[in-house]
Amino acid sequence: MNRFLRIFSASVIALLPLAAQAELAGDADRGAEVWNKCKGCHQIGEGAVNRIGPQLNRLFGRQAASIEGFSYSKSMQRAGNDGLTWTFETLDAYIDNPKALVSGTRMSFPGVKDAQDRADLMAWLRRYSDKPSDIPDAEPTARLDYIHVDPAVFEIKGDPEFGEYLASECTTCHLRDGSDEGIPSITLWPEDDFVAAMHAYKQQLRPHPVMQMMASRLTDEEIAALAAYFGALEDE
Amino acid sequence: MTLNRRSFLGAATATAASLGAARVWGASHGKPRVVVIGGGAGGATAARYIAKDSNGEIDVTLIEPTRTYYTCFFSNLYIGGFRELSSIAHTYGTLAAEYGVNVVHDWAVGIDRDAKTVSLAGGYTLPYDRLVVSPGIDFIEGSVPGWGVETQNAMPHSWKAGSQTQLLKAQIESMPQGGTFAMVAPPNPFRCPPGPYERISMVAHVLKETNPTAKILIADPKEKFSKQGVFEEGWNKHYSGMIQRIGPDFGGDKVEVRADSMELVIDGEVEKVDVCNVIPAQKAGRIAELAGLTGANGFCDIVPATMQSRVDENIHVLGDACNAGDMPKSGFSANSQAKVAAMAVRAALTGSKAFPAKYSNTCWSLVETNDGIKVGASYQATEEKIAQVDGFVSQTGEDADLRKATFEESLGWYAGITADMFG
């Protein structure tokens, strides 16, 4: 999985309907307290610099060991070169037990064992990750409690034929074969993820201006149709 | 059983009869025929979508003179050294082999709208049920006094990509130290509104590295230009003191050129220059004019919901050649329009479902390494025109990461749109 897809997937997880992903719903305000365990070594926010650990602005979607000027362990560098990117999943595993994920990491920290604490911490970290120009006072863009989608929206059955026509607007940029050369893949997503992501753009929670514009004029039925079409897209 | 003469004759007669019947059937009940003139962002996309979505029910012929098509978009990045020329070169093999498009490399030289035929320079005449005209632009003769096709090697336009782009790049690279690069920018409306200013950025990028005392002079007939704020911010930041733009208030609209002496005359004042990129005023590609499809401003008026010509319902005009209301003349726009036209053509010829037209556009430009900017909008068809619904533009003061992401996004878009055009 490439970096862009990872960024996208990471945010989608947080956008899933409450029932489906309750265990991942982090409370950023609580996360600010968990952060106290980290701030002895790491900085975040405006003017954050590398200290004992690297600064953590824009952590999500970042390749491991990619902050210039920070001296990483060989182990972390290798992990980064091998493609380790910080997502909800990878970060959750790392914060749970750093050495289990990156055996030679210099981060001497036993880990945060409580899953809810980790989710809260990540929700907090996420505030500094979405839109570079908004740092440090970015509105959190991917918090569950910020997206308001009527559960009925997820029940709409999309018409793939309609989706195919609408999709022609997407494929000017997104490659139909699902590859990513600078613009994320949107094929073969679970339909609910697709619907949640599009509504997050529509509500301007996800930050990208092109996608906000595209999503803003899509109806619930059109989003469902696109989700149905791209979710089942085979090679032509 | 041996074949005797009677049965042989019988079989022959039957074959002849069935061939004859097929021919008659072909003439009266054959597949509908679509001819597409122009293999760029409008034409190639239209041909591909009509062929793909009709599943063989429509015969599609694409007429494009060049076997290798160089996209105008990203040709500035080639000038700046960010792309190889080969990376913006495309061929039509996939459209022919995978989508069954009949690709004819020839010039369309005439359209008989009553007979519904297109004649080719090679002598053939092609009948159509629907015609898609997407010929791009031609230049208005005399719009820059002193410039014409006979001087286009001395003063390249490079506004159609390929050999002209190569020529301009070579001229920039062999400029004397401290020399002057001049651009005569076009008046509105023209192909690719941010294009001249992205080109200036790319030329400055090259000169900053190889010829840092060189100067860049723009003679511009327009008061304002696309993404002006972010372009000018970038020029100040990256190429301070190198670029001078002369707008209409200082005679940028009163320009003539002298190719023999490499001189640019701005409002009577003579400037000796080393490279002169003349981008003349523009009109629809000549075939549109020959067919009587063009309106008062030299471009073709269209029906916003279907991209049909206002003067001939059997013809759809796409891209730079049409008056697309609020949409700019861009490859993205042409690609977007082509999908609406393809849907309308299929609906008319095969009765397939037609959905409401949706249009969109985004133009990315590169100012300097990893400093990408963009402008875009969405549009809808009203009775009167294609009208803007929503839009955005890059802001001054954006941080470097966002600009880098914008540039990377443009690379993704290039891969996306060229796959959407050529398959």
Taking only the tens place, the pLDDT of each residue in B128-147 is 999 999 999 999 999 999 99
Choose one of B230, B253, B278: the last residue of a domain.
Answer: B278
Mean pLDDT of B105-111: 98
In this prediction, residue B373 carries a pLDDT of: 97
Higher pLDDT: B14 or B195? It is B195
Are B169 and B265 contained in the same domain? yes
Choose one of B228, B253, B278: the last residue of a domain.
Answer: B278
Homologous superfamily of domain range A3-142: Cytochrome c-like domain (1.10.760.10)
Domain count, chain B: 2
Number of CB pairs, chain A paired with chain B, less than 8 A apart: 95
**Do the beta carbons of residue B188 and residue B222 sit within 8 Å?**
yes
**Do the beta carbons of residue B85 and residue B165 sit within 8 Å?**
yes
In this prediction, residue A123 carries a pLDDT of: 84
Choose one of B243, B278, B313: the last residue of a domain.
Answer: B278
In this prediction, residue A235 carries a pLDDT of: 52
CA distance B205 to chain A (A): 23
Mean pLDDT for each consecutive 10-residue tract of chain A (236 residues)? 40 41 65 90 87 88 88 86 83 86 82 90 82 34 54 91 92 87 81 84 80 93 95 72
ipTM, 2 dp:
0.80
Q: Which helix (H) or strand (E) holds A116?
A: helix A115-126
Cβ distance B409 to A182 less than 8 Å, yes or no, reads yes
**Do the beta carbons of residue B271 and residue B182 sit within 8 Å?**
yes
Are B61 and B133 contained in the same domain? yes
pTM, full prediction: 0.76
Are B216 and B166 contained in the same domain? yes
Q: Give phi and psi for B234, each to the nearest 5.
A: -65, -40
DSSP B216-246: EEEE-S-S--TTHHHHHHHHHHHSTTTEEEE
On whether residue B399 sits in a domain, the answer given is no
Are B156 and B200 contained in the same domain? yes
A58-72, A158-172, B104-118, B209-223, range with the lowest pLDDT: A58-72
Tokens 């980790």: give the residue: A118
Name the interface residues of B facing A (CB cutoff 8 Å).
49, 52-53, 332, 335-336, 339, 343, 353, 355, 358, 360, 362, 374, 376-378, 380, 389-392, 395, 398-399, 401-402, 405, 408-417, 419-420
In this prediction, residue A130 carries a pLDDT of: 60
The one-letter amino acid at B87: S
- Who among A176, A182, A209 is closest to B411 (CB)? A182
Nearest CA in chain A to B358: A169
What domain range is B195 assigned to?
Answer: 149-278
User: CA torsion angle for B266, B269, B274, B275 (degrees, to 10)?
Assistant: 10
Are B48 and B156 contained in the same domain? no
Rama region for B72: left / alpha / beta (φ>0; ψ in -120 to 50; rest): alpha
In this prediction, residue B84 carries a pLDDT of: 97
On whether residue B212 sits in a domain, the answer given is yes
Q: Where do the structural domains in chain A lie, given as residue ranges?
A: 3-142, 147-231
User: CA torsion angle for A157, A163, A169, A171 (degrees, to 10)?
Assistant: 110
Confidence of residue B121 (pLDDT cuts 50, 70, 90): very high
b/e code B140-164 from CB counts within 10 Å (16+ = b): eeebbebbbeebbebbbbbbbbbeb
Residues 6 or more apart in contact with residue B153 via CB below 8 angstroms: B167
pLDDT score of B79 more than 80? yes
Q: Checking DSSP bridges between strand B130-133 and strand B125-127, what pairing results, if any?
A: unpaired
A87-101, B112-126, B383-397, range with the lowest pLDDT: A87-101
CATH architecture of A147-231: Orthogonal Bundle (1.10)
Question: pLDDT per residue over B172-208, tens digit each?
Answer: 999 999 999 999 999 999 999 999 999 999 999 999 9
Cis status of the peptide bond prior to B221, with omega within 30 of 0: no
On whether residue B61 sits in a domain, the answer given is yes
The CATH number of whichever domain residue B84 belongs to comes to 3.50.50.60
In this prediction, residue B66 carries a pLDDT of: 97
In this prediction, residue A75 carries a pLDDT of: 81
On whether residue B367 sits in a domain, the answer given is no
Are B246 and B226 contained in the same domain? yes
Question: pLDDT per residue over B316-361, tens digit each?
Answer: 999 999 999 999 999 999 999 999 999 999 999 999 999 999 999 9
